[in-house]
Every structure is written in structure tokens, then in C-alpha cells.
Amino acid sequence: MSGAPELIRISPPDEGEWMMLVSAFFDESGKPNDHEVVTLGGIASFQREVNDFSVEWNRLLRSKGLHMISAKNAFNPRKPLSQRCPHLGVEERTRALIPFFDCIRKNIQVITGTAIDVKAYKKLPSHYFQLFGDDPVYTSFLRSTLRVVEFTPEPDKISVVCDDEEKTAWNFYKLYRRIKKVWPHAKQQLISLSFADDRYIFGLQAADMISGLMRLEIGRTLKKAPYDYQELFQSLKRPIEKHERVWDLSISMGTKENLPELAKGLKEEFEKAKKMSEQEQRKKAG
């Protein structure tokens, strides 16, 4: 994106290139059995920026009388945001939430996510499900993880944290292993996958807010379902300002028009990467 800050790394004298850690946080919104749209949103940044983000996010929570924030509660303008700061009504609630999205843009370098139309996903060819599962959230995870890999320069490493949910955790792990096995850059750069309680991880709270907002926006776009927080979405995707650290803002929507092409591209990319990986292994063995 234009206006993105240049990434600068300094290597200590005579010690080779200095490895830095990128932390990525992902959370989903919506279930295919009871929602028309499923999304997975995420943030990723070098650890020093994550530290700055965490300090400011914690300050915002405390200023609103909160220990944590979730999209489910925050986007309900009839329910008090907290006892100390109720912020009832759409206008009051929007003003209260904008600083949280400003905090993300100010401190985080990658904002990513994919929202998928469940009906359109179910119409994809069955061989696609054999690769990536019948829940669209796994396609969202694949695309978002690869986006973070594309962002991360060598020799830096990536640690992925997902919200701890029993139903999806094992499948996320299997897909993570497949990504590491097949995609050459991912193999070198992905070093960990963990699952955490979002009550204690500010990055997951931010991912949840992004994911929830994305699901509302694609619902408006595809299903003509109006929602109260379009101003928040516009605040999230507005042009990058000089004081903000956002380097890449990539929000995708898988609709019946473009989802078949997206799925075809991911499948072809997977098969190409798998072939390259097998050739590399044969070369090393021979």
C-alpha cells in the first residue's frame, strides 16, 4: 500500500542477520450451520509493535471499565459496554469503539481476513473439500496465514495464535502442518501454532473485533442486511495516515461470483507448491 513505512532491520556486527518474530492472531466469527457468512479476521506484526499495541489496548480497556472486549457484546448497542461506561445507543457505541480500531491501525502492520458466503462455499467441487475441509473458516485460515507469510521477510519467523475452540483447533493444526509441509517459505518461517483464551490475549480480542465487523459488512453487501456500524468499517479501511504502522490491509470477500475462482487459485497454488516441495525433497535425497 502507498504510504506504508519501510521495514528496517539492523544486524549486530559479525553476527549475521538478526531474526525477528512476527506474531499473528486469528479469530473466527459465525458458524456455517447457523450463519450465512463465516469470517476469520486477524492481525500480525513484529513483536515490538505487538508490545506497543498491547499497552495501548490495555489502556483503552481500563478507560472503559473493561477487562476484555468482544464483538458479540460490543456490537450490541442496547447492552451496556460496561457498568462504568455504558455507551448505549449506536452513536455513543460507535464513538466508544473507534479508538480500538485506531489502536490497531496505529500499532499493527498487517490487518487481514476473509469472509465467505456459506451457500456459495457449499457449491464448490467436492475435491476442494477433500483438500481444505467443508467449513469455509479453514479456507479463510489458509488464505490469511499465507498473507502473513508473504508479508514476513526472511529470515524472520512467525508465531500463530488462534482462539481456543475445541471444534476447530485440531483441524487448524492439521491445516497448519499441511501449509508448513507444502509451501516452501511457510516451511522456513512458521515456527509455532498455539491456542489461547481471548480473555487474556489482546491480539485475539482485536482479531475478534475485525472478524465480527467483517461478517456484518459482507452481510450488508451480499444479503442486503443493514447494520449499525458501517462507520466503524469505514474507519478500519480508510487510507493509511503517516503516524500509522499499517503496512497491509487485506480484507477479502468470497461471494458466489468470485469464490470459485478463489478456490481454484488456492487449489492450484497448493498443487504447485506440493510439486515443488516433492522435487526439493527428491533433490536432497539424491
For residues 150-169, average pLDDT: 93
Does residue 185 lie within any of the structural domains?
yes
**Does 154 score more than 90 pLDDT?**
no
Q: At 17, is the pLDDT very low, low, confident or very high (cuts 50, 70, 90)?
A: low
Q: Each residue of 186-196: pLDDT tens digit?
A: 988 999 999 99
In degrees, rounded to 5, the angle at the alpha carbon of residue 154 between the alpha carbons of residues 9 and 142 is: 125
CA distances from 146 to 52, 117, 217, 241 (A): 25, 20, 23, 26
pLDDT (tens digit per residue) in 204-227 = 999 999 999 998 988 888 778 889
| Residue 152 near residue 184, CB atoms below 8 Å | no
The answer to whether residue 211 sits within a structural domain is: yes
Q: What is the CATH number of the domain that holds 255?
A: 3.30.420.10
Q: Kindly state whether residue 252 falls inside one of the protein's structural domains.
A: yes
Considering its fold, how many domains does the chain have in total? 1
Assigned domain for 12 exists: no
Containing structural domain, residue 34 = 21-285
Q: What angle do CA 32, 44, 107 make, to 5 degrees?
A: 125
